[in-house]
Amino acid sequence: MIDQKPRDPLYPQGFEDIDNLKNRQIPRPKPKENEDNDLKILKSFNQKLGKYIGPKPKNIIENEEKKKIGMIITTLIILTLVISTYYFLIYEPSQEELNLAKTTKLNELHSLYTGALTSSSEAMILENEINNARSKNEVESINILSPATKAWKSFHKKSINANLDPYNRTMATYTDNNTKNAIMPASEALTIVDENNAEVLSKIKFEKPNTVSVPILVSRLQAGAGLVNVGSVVDIYTSSNYTENGTPNNQTNPDIKGCTVVSIMRCEENGEIDSEYSKANTVVHGNNTNPNENTQTFKSNVLELLKGSIINGYNEKQTAELLQNYGIKLSNYERQINLGDLDAQYMLLVETPQDKVNFLLDNMDQIILTIPTTNAPSWMVNEINSTYNK
């Protein structure tokens, strides 16, 4: 009889039999080789995982930190070299070109917007545009000449109308190496404004003529070959090799332009007349010779003749008509026969700007009066026409 333990009343019937069956089962053997492989794989995985999440040895940590520091230093050196190369080879030269272009353009701006237009709103806008430009091409594309020309034309036209004298003239003052004046009709001044740009107009100033008549004593050569007349408009040059500032005189423009000859007198010696006309012929008849000579003489002094007519010694009206423009007629006849008194002197009364009086008086021996073809006398016009209209 087998000893049995008393049945636990709490266990259901049949559970004890199941336990007995479990105890009686023979365990199945597991393949040893597979177990070893699994363990090796697991150990290998744990080792690899430990490298990343496990504690690292002190030497490994220091080596990696050194590597990182070395990489950072190397990167900084490369970046420094790249930045330095870019700065010195590309950025700095481009900035120098940009600054040079800006300086050139600003100089152009300040040379065109001068005087009355220095502080104009257009000049300020253009200057800001130049300063804010970011490239050389952008600076060079800024157009200064066109707006400056437009501004100067508008300004000068108003200035001309505001600076007319009673004879509808204005005076242009042109500043180059020296200051030069030109008295001209308003129509001529407007033509100058319309036909020029800001490079010329920025150097011109129109003022109301303030003129005086200055007496000058000049030679025939200086007096336009003695062919200037009352009312002639002349331009005055100087034959000196140096200007009034002491610089070499390479001028191509007159020192004073548009002067009017108010009066002209030829020296008294040319009024003395002592002429003799003689015509002789001889008639021969055989041994007889009959000489025949016809001689006419005329002596006078034009100035004395005028004096006599004034005191009723002669008919004053007839004498005045006879001697009217005697000096001018004499010069014209001399021109026509190509023979004349080259040593004659002329006293001229010339209208000139007041600020040029001292210049005329100081340079009286060196001034040359020229006759512009635009204001040429009729005989000059005829000569030119006959030359070119054959």
Q: pLDDT tens digits for 312-357?
A: 766 767 767 766 777 777 788 788 877 778 888 889 999 999 988 9
Judged against a pLDDT cut of 60, whether residue 191 lies above it is answered with yes
| DSSP state at residue 178 | S
Q: What is the pLDDT of residue 56?
A: 52
Residue 14 has pLDDT above 60, yes or no: no
Task: Select the more confidently predicted residue: 311 or 65.
Answer: 65
Place of tokens 């002639």: 232
Interatomic CA distance for residues 271 and 326, integer angstroms? 9
Assess whether pLDDT exceeds 70 at residue 36: no
Whether residue 1 has pLDDT greater than 50? no
In order of 41, 46, 50, the CA distances from 36 in angstroms are 9, 15, 21
The span from the CA of 162 to the CA of 146, in Å, is 25
Q: Is 74 exposed, middle or buried (0-12, 13-18, 19+ CB in 10 A)?
A: exposed
Question: Which tens digit of pLDDT belongs to each residue from 236-292?
Answer: 998 865 555 555 556 677 888 889 999 988 876 766 666 676 777 776 676 777 777
What are the E-state strand segments in the chain?
169-175, 179-185, 204-207, 211-219, 233-238, 256-266, 272-285, 288-301, 345-353, 367-370
Cβ atoms within 10 A of the Cβ of 52, count? 7
